[in-house]
Amino acid sequence: MKQELKAVNFYTLSLINGCYAGLDATGLHTLKLSGPEGSYVTPMFDAGEDGCTYNRLTIEGNFQNVKLEIIAAATDETDMYIDGRFECLKDWLGDPLVPAPVKAEALKALPHVRTVNARDILLHGLKGRYIWIYASLFPTGPCDCELIGLRLELPKYTFAEYLPEIYHGNEFFERYIAVFQSVFLDIERMVDNVPHLLDYRTAPDDHVEHLADWLGIDNGRRLFSPAQLRHLIENIGVYQGAKGTKHALERMILLLTGIRPRIVEHFEWMKPGLSESQLTINKKLYGDTANHFCVIIDVTKTGLTVSQGDLERVIEDFSVLGSQFTIVYLKPCSRTDTHCYLDINSAVSVPEIVGLDSGMVGGHIIIG
């Protein structure tokens, strides 16, 4: 192999920076068919040397019930004589006011490769420093057409180079062996991409859950988003290595709910010198055994973003085996009585219009 095989990707922002008609850009930076037909021209790519050769073009997208025409054209010149004057191809092909059929005819006047309904195209016969890829889409029935991206490989590369010289320069043999070459190169590219799939920072969102599962992070109930799973993996030493500690439990609740909790353990309130009445109140608030702890969560500002059942299961998973816990949610209408949670006194009542009845129950006036 004389030159290293390189690839140019027209995806996301590189894709929508092209010139298109009858197509709409989506939030994921793909192009969806919105009119009776669509056309697309990539931005000009400069290979950097005259007479550059090209290997292969692949198109990714959904083209069911759509006629897909592809024209890949290359030249060493940036100017072309069109309609009686010289035009700069870079600007002219990128002008949305120029009709798509006119652009297609101009590209056909250059050295080009044209295919219909092919998504893996061999470009061995194409040469030129500058290259454009033109795509036209014609629906043949009800369809949901979407162009996701294009991948261009260069320079020309053939497995015939590894065979005896008698096979060199045989166009038919090179096209025949290119079928197996494409399969091999695709597998090789997938293998080269494995390190990115195993890295939680670069892996796609649907792979992050598998990485978390390998590390013992259970997301069967879909409690954690991909971003939260990446955070858990990055700090696995805290969430798994310190599992069962107060610090790890506080961080887990904060990650899950976005609210920093206050965890009160038995030794924090069980102090010498407390009166019997205070001990009774504390036991009701925090639990009456040494392995009992209380989780206090202030939901007065943001509210609880997960269900109480899911929160209880997470606390149970990150607690010491055999321990018990109580969850207290601070709400605007909680009664404070003689105790104050986190130095925040909740409202005793909300002012509103009431009426007084004359009924008496147990010596108390009923207010309704």
Helix (H, G, I), strand (E, B) or coil at 7: strand
Residues in contact with 303: Cβ distance below 8 Å, sequence separation at least 6, in sequence order: none
Mean pLDDT score across all residues of the chain? 84
Query: 221, 229 in Cβ contact below 8 A?
Result: no
How far is 26 from 358, CA to CA, in rounded Å?
A: 67
CB-CB neighbours of 23 under 10 Å: 23
Phi-psi region of 22 (alpha: psi -120 to 50; beta: other; left: phi over 0): left
pLDDT tens column, 114-136: 999 999 999 988 999 999 999 99
Which tokens is 86 given?
């010289």
At residue 348, the pLDDT reads: 45
How far is 213 from 126, CA to CA, in rounded Å?
A: 47
* pLDDT for 341 beyond 70: no
List the domains of the chain with CATH numbers. 6-157 (2.60.120.260), 259-368 (no CATH)
Q: What is the mean pLDDT of residues 211-219?
A: 86
* pLDDT for 337 beyond 70: no
pLDDT tens column, 77-110: 999 999 889 999 999 999 999 999 999 999 999 9
What percent of the chain is modeled with pLDDT above 90? 37
State how far the alpha carbon of 217 is from the alpha carbons of 212, 254, 308, in Å.
5, 16, 20
pLDDT tens column, 227-247: 999 998 988 888 888 888 888
Q: What is the mean pLDDT of residues 326-354?
A: 58
What is the amino acid identity at position 190?
M
Query: 5, 124 in Cβ contact below 8 A?
Result: no
What confidence category does residue 368 fall into, taking pLDDT thresholds of 50, 70 and 90?
very low
pLDDT tens column, 238-280: 888 888 888 889 999 999 888 999 888 888 877 777 777 887 8
What confidence category does residue 340 fall into, taking pLDDT thresholds of 50, 70 and 90?
low
* pLDDT for 57 beyond 90: yes
Q: What is the mean pLDDT of residues 68-73?
A: 97
pLDDT tens column, 145-175: 999 999 999 998 887 777 888 878 787 888 7
Decide which of 225 and 268 is more confident: 225
At residue 58, the pLDDT reads: 93
What confidence category does residue 357 fall into, taking pLDDT thresholds of 50, 70 and 90?
low
Which tokens is 91 given?
């600007």
Decide which of 46 and 201 is more confident: 46
